[in-house]
Chain A
């Protein structure tokens, strides 16, 4: 009989969901701030191993939706089932422990710290030794640090940022900062990676690089990705399925091709005479 406890945290490869299975189910979620309805009665699902895009015009409620998934906002109505567990309210650090990592629309890195330290910070959630041990930095804490550093070096190698390993991120150009932020999210070895406009403000070459990394993360590591993006070309090329929001409501859901030809979506983006 195997009486060992289940691993405390799930890694990307082992979160108890078979590929293609239901990783997350968003059911009838509504969120409002006072009288302002940010999202209304939204339902969609994310299947393991896919790249799921959430798109919509400005103010459609995309980031709010991401913040709900991430546990930053608690919806007034509806539930979210993640890896078979239903939850109503949750704090962001719980989301992290459940295996949800994210990047931000405006880069949120520790500007004074090096690339290496920023990505290392992403590992902290996976570190077992307590603060005292870590401060002593000896014995088991050191062994643990070395183990985590190896993982971080893999990520640095993967994202091709060896040359900025020791550079404070505040000094880096924006495109590279975005890449470091992705690195930090990857360091958590998430089941679900949330990317909030990973390509905003990038030039063509940076966009191509970032697309390549996103596809590789998805294919090589099997990480499920939910992303918000404005660049339609990128979204249609990258994602397996797309949810379209407009004024806080879901107006379409399906494959990129199906969504592209959807009347509601065209109206929402091009506008209609009211």
Chain B
């Protein structure tokens, strides 16, 4: 009851920091694997770290309303920067660490940051290389000193020095600590607490401003929804700048008082996940796909006995796993088989994957295949779907335990209003919704309706059971010349459910028929090639191999068969396709930093190939520029073969109207 009374006053994250330090004291708040050992900080220790940092930043001139960029991997010190900045009324702006210098400069300049806290030399170099484009930036603070010894010290500070300054000020005048706390208590929830830049699926990224009180309210709702407490733990491994990471780890972490774990490096995430065994987990479908692919590949290489055991018990899990998870009636024999399976297969498998302690897991961002989704759920992992947006500070819908489907994203999240506009667009109003795009009033006005709803830009409809079904981006949904519905995302996702296909881009709006670009999955197809003694030197060579084309053609055929069974989609079967000679890559601008295809960009870049798909040519020579990691450019040349695919007659009467 005290908590409930307090909750009303709790409208910023630093207030939660003070309260957690008082309430949870020695409970772990943060862990980070460093030098091979998990280092940990209790809530009280975390408060002291942040206090020293905040006082140090204050001495540097950080104050109310200043923007401070946070760039790097998931490190405790970068997460502390969020709270330290917020405690001074400054606005943290997390930026994608893998953005190339130009992209980064655009965001830093647009946000008008005065300070940047970065992880290492790489980020310092990027900022220095385009310092002229970021006139407002005066000071850069780095976490890892390696390689920075010889740099001119002007405007460059070590994180530890800033904290030492803070500690020095505190030692000289102990009352500063209290004044700082009073400042936190007096702060208003109406101030902006974070600016999150969208990943820029369409055009330049925009700075989404979120008010502290909105952010806290949203987090309170979902923390209650999933019953998160200080006993929960998460592994913070998603990009720091993505709303999902900020919300699920930082916002929910502070509100619930749970323990956030930072991996040793991006390459060690699987091991770290296994060691930590978090109780709350989020991953985009892509990661679940990779996990399933690697499990499948390793089982194919396993001995006969193991393979048979695995196949048997996975079949048992497919039959009984989900009913048991959802508490539906299951015969005793089924329960016994499943219990044995848990002992022999599921338990050890979950342990290897780091999923042993998961109580709640979510996936979002893309559609997830039914088989893939069921596989993880049947192992006893409470995997659910949510639908969200940066503009909503994540949650718009989420599925309740026990009523979970693979094809929908769930009913509205707590206190969220959703409606479908007359032209089929999903619109919402939520506690966590943003207060506007930074310095883009016009764009804000375009996205907000007059009565205070946010346009998502996604087309969708409600199923009879109240769950929302997202069809596609509203502007991507089109029609073929014959009038059949063309929903590219739906077609692409159906294709991508095959482990061999990593990426797909469908075309067809205003055309006679539907076509697709495909990327093979180098891991899955590479393993197949190895087992079948097919030598290859590069992605390009493997992608162009005639045997690979046969496999992919079979997948496309199966996709068409599946589409033919969907009354709305039967007209959009793929008639011709090609396997691209290069992997779509975020460094070339073909994917966003969250790895979504930038459709318009790809269409423009590969225009000759699209024409070839519709010209009836059997092959086409192309040259494509590509960007290496260090920013230099090179070219890929290839002759891409184009394949015909068989289409199937629609099972139901074709070309039904869209549900909207």
Residues of A within 8 A of B (CB): 149-150, 153-154, 156-158, 160, 162-163, 165-166, 205, 208, 212, 216, 219-220
B150, B265, B629, B630: the one within 8 Å of A163 (CB) = B265
Determine if B36 and A163 form an interchain contact, defined as CB atoms under 8 angstroms apart: no
Which 3 pairs from chain A and chain B are nearest by CB? A163-B267, A153-B35, A163-B268
Assembly CA distance A158 to B147 (angstroms)? 11
A162-B630 contact, Cβ under 8 Å, with A216-B147, A220-B149: no
Interface centre among B35, B149, B630 (most CB of A within 10 A): B35
Q: Which B positions have Cβ atoms within 8 angstroms of A?
A: 34-37, 146-147, 149-150, 264-265, 267-268, 271, 629-630
Query: What residues of chain A lie closer than 8 Å to B265, measured between beta carbons?
Result: 160, 162-163
Q: Cβ of A157: which chain B residues have Cβ within 8 Å of it?
A: 34-35
Q: Are B630 and A220 in contact (CB under 8 A)?
A: no
Known A163-B265, A163-B267: A153·B36 in contact at CB below 8 Å: yes
A162 with B267: CB separation less than 8 A: yes
Query: Are A154 and B35 in contact (CB-based, < 8 A)?
Result: yes
Q: Select A219's contact among B149, B264, B629, B630, beta carbons within 8 Å.
A: B149
Give the complex CA separation of A165 and B35 in angstroms. 11
Complex Cα distance, B629 from A162, in Å, reads: 21
Please, which residues of chain B bring their CB within 8 A of the CB of A158?
146
Residues of chain A lying within 8 A (CB to CB) of residue B264? 162-163
**Do A205 and B629 form a contact, CB below 8 Å, given A160-B265, A163-B265, A219-B150?**
yes
A166-B275 Cα distance, complex, nearest whole Å: 14
Which A residues lie within 8 Å of B37 (CB)? 153
Residue of A nearest to B144 (CB): A157
Contact B36 A220 (CB under 8 A): no
CB distance A165 to B267 under 8 Å?
no
A156 CA to B36 CA in the complex, in Å?
A: 9
Interface centre among A153, A158, A162, A165 (most CB of B within 10 A): A162
6 more contacts with CB within 8 A, not counting A154-B35, A162-B268, A205-B629, are A156-B35, A156-B36, A160-B265, A163-B264, A216-B146, A216-B147
- Complex CA gap A157/B145 in Å reads 13
Whose C-beta in chain B lies nearest to the C-beta of A166? B271
A216→B146 CA distance, assembly (Å) = 8
Give 7 A-B contacts (CB < 8 Å), ordered by A residue.
A150-B35, A153-B35, A156-B35, A157-B35, A162-B267, A208-B630, A220-B149
Complex-state Cα separation, A21 to B439, whole angstroms:
60
| B-chain residues with CB within 8 Å of residue A216 when the two chains form the complex | 146-147
Distance of A48 from chain B, by nearest CB (Å): 18
B317 shortest CB reach to chain A, Å: 29
Q: What is the minimal beta-carbon distance from B269 to any residue of chain A, in angstroms?
A: 9
Cα distance A120–B149 in the bound complex, in angstroms:
28
Chain B contacts for A212, CB-based, 8 A: 147
- Chain B residues closer than 8 Å to A220, beta-carbon distance: 146, 149
B149 touches A163 (CB 8 A): no
Across-interface contacts of B150 in A (CB, < 8 A): 219
- Chain A residues with Cβ under 8 A from B35's Cβ? 150, 153-154, 156-157
Question: For A165, what are the chain B residues with a Cβ–Cβ distance below 8 Å?
Answer: 36
A219–B34 alpha-carbon span in the complex (Å)? 23
Q: Distance (Å) between the CB of B426 and the closest chain A CB? A: 40
CA distance A160 to B150 in the complex (A): 21
- B149: chain A residues at CB < 8 Å are 219-220
B181 to chain A, nearest CB (A): 35
A143–B271 alpha-carbon span in the complex (Å)? 27
| Smallest Cβ-Cβ distance to B629: which chain A residue | A205
Residues of B contacting A160 in the complex (Cβ-Cβ under 8 angstroms): 265
Shortest CB distance B631–A (Å): 12
Q: Which of B34, B36, B37 has the most CB of A within 10 A?
A: B36
| CB of B372 to closest CB in A, whole Å | 25
Which has the most chain A C-beta neighbours within 10 Å: B37, B146, B150?
A: B146
Bound complex: CA A247 to CA B65 (Å): 69
Whole-angstrom distance between the alpha carbons of A150 and B265 in the complex?
18
Distance, CA A160 to CA B120, complexed state (A): 13
Who on chain A is nearest to B36 by CB? A153
Q: How far is B125's CA from A212's CA once the two chains are assembled, in angstroms? A: 14
Q: Which residue of B lies closest to A158 (CB)?
A: B146
Residues on the B chain within 8 Å of A208, using CB: 630
- Output the nearest chain B residue to A149 by Cβ-Cβ distance: B36
Q: Contact partner of B271 among A153, A156, A163, A219, CB < 8 A?
A: A163
CB A49 to nearest CB in B, in angstroms, measures: 14
Question: Which chain B residues border A150 with CB–CB below 8 Å?
Answer: 35
Q: How far is the CA of A153 from the CA of B150 in the complex (A)?
A: 25
Q: How far is the CA of A156 from the CA of B147 in the complex (A)?
A: 16
Whole-angstrom distance between the Cβ of B62 and the nearest chain A Cβ = 30
Residue numbers in B under 8 Å from A163 (CB-CB): 264-265, 267-268, 271
Instruction: Kindly state the separation between the CA atoms of A16 and B35 in the bound complex, as whole angstroms.
Output: 30
Q: Which residue of A lies closest to B150 (CB)?
A: A219
Query: What is the bound-complex CA distance between A205 and B631, given in angstroms?
Result: 12
A273 to B264, CA, bound (A): 58
B630: chain A residues within 8 A (beta carbon): 208
